């Protein structure tokens, strides 16, 4: 059941026939308001999504370059440079991970780049045999950033790692595998960026319908699902054991690098929040956004301004994160209560976004997260 | 909800047949409530609650091993609680992806943004296990005394208690009635956010069933609530009340029967069953107001069962203390402690929250276990707690 704000209801009554708010069956959308969805979509695409992918593409190219430099001349210097580039690129990836729509969705971009925990023993046997196909969906757990994490930080200290890539058994295979993983991150990224620079941008922006197949409806579902499943559950909930009651430190993101997990979390959180507010990716001011849309609709929840509730909750999440260690693996091992508290704050935002915001925007939620029996 | 009503009023004034889901709903006289909990679609039963039966069976096995000091261990009971490392005698339980622990204090309404407390509660259950298999097990051949764990006679029975006189198996079992069964029923599966999640209403009305199943998601959610009460394998699916007070269930259904057997509360089992059937029929008919009314009847009755038993055992314990029979008293108080623990999961339909606050319930637990616990708790304290609980739930201490 959708709640329609009183004002919106009056508008509807005075202008047209009623909206059926359950446009989820694609029976042709009826615009429920005059908010300029096209302008919002254009701002999203031109000032946030495309620049974010372009920046990440530069970063993933640098990652491939640093990997090439390392495998051509493995040394303490090239390893250190590669590790730094890996960290930078993994952080940068957090600014595009939520945009799993269009080409990214089609090719399973996020699955290939960031399925974790990675499968270290599978990687080892791939390296040993030298035989693998990273295009298979069954190889999600053998590539992407989590695989690089293992290869750069999971094989031992710097010296031991270097030894694996130089004089150790299968050193050449390690070098090949690492480079293949880096190249694949870069080529998948280029594919998505190119799609946005090409026809997909117009396709996305012009699909202003408010039906379930319209860009706003579809993107919003992806955006909110990202927050729930990847930001809340993936980065915090699974390692904290929020669903099982037993912490799983090995489920932390960037578990081998260790001290990177909180930075990844905070970057993702900030990118998500900036998108909500409509902040341009390159700091170029703000434009039409969820925030503006909710303000335009004058959306309320229990007598309070919905946008203010959402922004306050983002603040509460950020405030809470001050209690978190830079390394989520050790966080859940030493004080899991702080991780669970983070989960609780994130879940409060899930309710505001998935239930209240989606209802206010008359968007049908097309996924469920129930785990019944 | 205020805005919603506002919209309905406006809609009603100006344009009668406007929004499909805002129509004032009166109970549909066409709704057929079957004699038994039997519902079909195309001649296939749509009722399924095997997941609940699985969790009840896991609980039974945990409890049957709880006092077996010779063959059980802390690790084994904790493995059973979390279903890890194939702990059960039945392969089907080991192979199940389900566990008791994952659904303890895990309801949508009370714990979805409260995993910190949820975690504390799960830790309490693990504490009951570790206390049993350490403190109590070590002293199992010692006579218990104030501040010392051990065994204590209760007529012909032997009770094993911790230093405060609390039986861990009773604490575990009776607290679990609240933390697992009541919480999942009242605050999860019967709650609107779960019943109406996503497109559940649309799918229910269109008869779109879950993939490979004969039920709609909403029908199934309701059945999952049903299964926690009636899912013990010894309870016949079509007519549970025929074995009221005669089944092998030792959890909620058992105590619903005990309360129903008290003439002050006679009929509560029948009323609860009727509400389950009527609510399920209402889902089939798409009458969600009627559904939610039934959910509230169930919430009130089940909550009351917990409170009535809590008071019943406190009063029983008080009487035995006054008789000077500590063994019998501790057994009653241990059960009472568990039911008090379970009050946290009750659901008052008027407030959408437990009948008593968490803080108040925590105070009761502290009062019972403070210092040497049951060895020195006063009859006055037991009376005060009993009165407060009875008042909050609208019955009298003497009725329980």
Instruction: Provide the percentage of residues in chain A whose pLDDT is more than 70.
Output: 90
Measured between alpha carbons, how far is B345 from A73 in angstroms, rounded to an integer? Answer: 63
Q: Using omega within 30 degrees of 0 as the cis cutoff, is the peptide bond preceding B258 cis?
A: no
Average pLDDT over residues A193-211: 95
Other beta carbons within 10 Å of B175: 24
Residues B108 and B193 sit within 8 Å (Cβ to Cβ): yes
Q: What is the pLDDT of residue B356?
A: 98
Q: What is the pLDDT of residue A18?
A: 37
B residues 105-134 closer than 8 Å to A (CB): 112-116, 118-119, 122
ipTM: 0.73
Residue B344 lies in a domain: no
Longest dimension (CA), chain B: 80
Q: Which residues touch A19 (CB under 8 Å, ≥6 apart)?
A: A4, A12, A30, A32, A362
Average pLDDT over residues B281-286: 96
Measured between alpha carbons, how far is A222 from A367 in angstroms, rounded to an integer? Answer: 9
pTM (2 d.p.): 0.81
CB contact under 8 A, B196 and A344: no
pLDDT tier at B31 (50, 70, 90 boundaries)?
confident
Lowest-confidence region among A24-33, A174-183, B311-320, B380-389: A24-33
For B290-334, write each residue's pLDDT tens digit.
999 999 999 999 999 999 999 999 999 999 999 999 999 999 999
Residue B355 lies in a domain: no
How many CB pairs below 8 A link A and B? 104
Average pLDDT over residues B195-212: 94
Above 80 in pLDDT, residue A352?
yes
Average pLDDT over residues B101-118: 96
pLDDT tier at A369 (50, 70, 90 boundaries)?
low
Short-list B131, B180, B116, CA closest to B369:
B131
Domain A34-208: give its CATH architecture.
Up-down Bundle (1.20)
Q: What is the pLDDT of residue B17?
A: 38
Alpha carbon of B1: minimum distance to chain A alpha carbons (Å) = 8
For A228-280, write each residue's pLDDT tens digit.
999 999 999 999 999 888 899 999 999 999 999 999 999 999 999 999 999 99
- Between A1, A3, A347, which is nearest B113 by CB? A347
Using an 8 Å CB-CB cutoff, list chain A residues near B220: 372
Cα distance from N-terminal residue to C-terminal residue, chain B: 37
Measured between alpha carbons, how far is A25 from A20 in angstroms, rounded to an integer? Answer: 11
For A12-55, write each residue's pLDDT tens digit.
333 333 333 433 333 333 446 789 999 999 999 999 999 999 99
Cα distance from N-terminal residue to C-terminal residue, chain A: 24
Residue B254 lies in a domain: yes
CB distance from B4 to chain A under 8 Å?
yes
How many domains, chain B?
A: 1
Short-list A97, A114, A372, CA closest to A243:
A372
Q: What is the pLDDT of residue B362?
A: 98
CA distances from B3 to A10, A21, B23, B289 (A): 12, 16, 15, 18
Q: What is the pLDDT of residue B237?
A: 87
Residue B390 lies in a domain: no
Residue B349 lies in a domain: no
CB contact under 8 A, B122 and A20: no
Residue B37 lies in a domain: no
Alpha carbon of A144: minimum distance to chain B alpha carbons (Å) = 29
Using an 8 Å CB-CB cutoff, list chain A residues near B114: 344
A327: left (phi over 0), alpha (psi -120 to 50) or beta: beta
CB distance from B193 to chain A under 8 Å?
yes
And the tokens for B400? 């329980």
For A50-72, write each residue's pLDDT tens digit.
999 999 999 999 999 999 999 99
pLDDT tier at A9 (50, 70, 90 boundaries)?
very low
pLDDT, chain B, mean: 92
Q: Rounded to 5 degrees, what are φ and ψ at B138?
A: -55, -40
- Between B6, B114, B199, which is nearest A344 by CB? B114
Residue B277 lies in a domain: yes
Rg of chain A over Cα atoms, rounded to whole angstroms, equals 22
pLDDT tier at B20 (50, 70, 90 boundaries)?
very low
The residue extents of the domains of chain A are 34-208, 209-373
H/E stretch holding A46 reads none
Short-list B323, B346, B321, B342, CA closest to B333:
B321
Using an 8 Å CB-CB cutoff, list chain B residues near A4: 7, 19
Domain, as residue range, for B208: 46-304
CA distances from A181 to A138, A144, A343, B73, B100 (A): 15, 6, 31, 46, 40
pLDDT tier at A223 (50, 70, 90 boundaries)?
very high
């Amino acid at each position: 059941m959708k709640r329609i704000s009183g004002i919106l209801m009056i508008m509807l009554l005075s202008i047209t026939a009623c909206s059926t708010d359950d446009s989820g069956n694609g029976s042709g959308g009826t615009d429920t308001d005059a908010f300029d969805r096209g302008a919002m979509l254009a701002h999203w695409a031109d000032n946030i999504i495309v620049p974010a992918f372009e920046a990440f593409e530069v970063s993933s190219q640098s990652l491939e370059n640093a990997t090439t430099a390392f495998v051509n001349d493995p040394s303490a210097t090239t390893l250190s440079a590669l590790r730094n580039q890996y960290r930078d690129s993994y952080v940068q990836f957090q600014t595009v991970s939520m945009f799993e729509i269009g080409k990214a969705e089609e090719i399973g971009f996020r699955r290939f780049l960031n399925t974790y925990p990675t499968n270290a023993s599978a990687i080892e046997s791939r390296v040993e045999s030298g035989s693998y196909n990273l295009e298979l969906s069954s190889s999600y757990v053998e590539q992407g950033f989590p695989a690089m994490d293992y290869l750069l930080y999971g094989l031992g200290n710097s010296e031991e790692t270097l030894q694996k890539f130089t004089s150790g058994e299968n050193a050449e295979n390690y070098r090949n595998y690492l480079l293949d993983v880096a190249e694949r991150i870069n080529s998948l990224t280029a594919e998505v960026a190119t799609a946005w620079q090409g026809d997909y941008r117009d396709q996305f922006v012009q699909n202003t319908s408010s039906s379930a197949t319209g860009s706003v409806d579809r993107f919003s579902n992806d955006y909110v699902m990202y927050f729930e499943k990847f930001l809340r559950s993936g980065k915090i909930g699974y390692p904290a054991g929020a669903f099982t009651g037993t912490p799983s430190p090995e489920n932390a993101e960037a578990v081998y690098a260790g001290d990177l997990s909180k930075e990844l979390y905070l970057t993702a959180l900030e990118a998500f929040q900036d998108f909500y507010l409509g902040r341009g990716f390159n700091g170029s001011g703000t434009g039409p956004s969820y925030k503006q849309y909710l303000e335009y609709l004058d959306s309320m929840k229990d007598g309070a301004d919905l946008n203010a509730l959402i922004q306050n909750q983002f603040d509460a999440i950020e405030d809470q994160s001050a209690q978190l260690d830079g390394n989520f693996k050790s966080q859940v091992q030493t004080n899991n209560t702080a991780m669970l508290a983070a989960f609780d704050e994130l879940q409060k935002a899930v309710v505001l976004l998935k239930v209240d915001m989606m209802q206010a925007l008359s968007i049908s939620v097309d996924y469920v997260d129930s785990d019944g029996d | 909800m205020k805005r919603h009503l506002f919209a309905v009023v406006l809609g009603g004034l100006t344009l009668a047949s406007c929004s499909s889901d805002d129509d004032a709903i009166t109970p549909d006289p066409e709704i057929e409530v079957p004699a038994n909990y039997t519902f079909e679609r195309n001649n296939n039963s749509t009722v399924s609650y095997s997941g609940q039966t699985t969790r009840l069976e896991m609980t039974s096995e945990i409890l049957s091993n709880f006092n077996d000091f010779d063959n059980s261990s802390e690790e084994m009971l904790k493995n059973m609680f979390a279903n890890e490392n194939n702990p059960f005698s039945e392969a089907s339980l080991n192979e199940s992806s389900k566990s008791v622990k994952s659904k303890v204090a895990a309801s949508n309404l009370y714990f979805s943004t409260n995993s910190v407390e949820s975690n504390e509660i799960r830790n309490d259950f693990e504490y009951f296990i570790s206390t049993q298999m350490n403190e109590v097990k070590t002293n199992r051949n010692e006579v218990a005394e104030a501040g010392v764990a051990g065994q204590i006679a209760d007529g012909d029975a032997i009770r094993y208690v911790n230093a405060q006189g609390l039986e861990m198996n009773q604490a575990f079992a009776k607290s679990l009635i609240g933390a697992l069964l009541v919480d999942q029923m009242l605050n999860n599966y019967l709650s609107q956010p779960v019943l109406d999640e996503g497109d559940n209403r649309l799918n229910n009305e269109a008869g779109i069933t879950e993939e490979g199943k004969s039920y709609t998601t909403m029908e199934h959610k309701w059945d999952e609530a049903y299964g926690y009460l009636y899912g013990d394998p010894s309870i016949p699916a079509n007519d549970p009340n025929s074995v009221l007070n005669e089944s092998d269930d030792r959890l909620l259904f058992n105590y619903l029967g005990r309360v129903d057997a008290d003439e002050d509360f006679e009929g509560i089992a029948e009323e609860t069953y009727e509400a389950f059937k009527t609510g399920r029929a209402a889902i089939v008919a798409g009458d969600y107001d009627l559904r939610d009314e039934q959910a509230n009847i169930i919430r009130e009755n089940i909550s009351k069962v917990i409170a009535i038993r809590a008071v019943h055992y406190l009063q029983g314990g008080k009487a035995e203390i006054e008789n000077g029979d500590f063994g019998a008293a501790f057994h009653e108080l241990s059960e009472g402690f568990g039911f008090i623990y379970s009050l946290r999961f009750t659901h008052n339909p008027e407030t959408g929250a437990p009948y008593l606050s968490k803080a108040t319930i925590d105070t009761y637990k502290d009062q019972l276990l403070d210092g040497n616990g049951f060895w020195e708790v006063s009859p006055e304290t037991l009376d005060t707690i009993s009165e407060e609980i009875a008042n909050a739930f609208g019955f009298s201490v003497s009725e329980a």
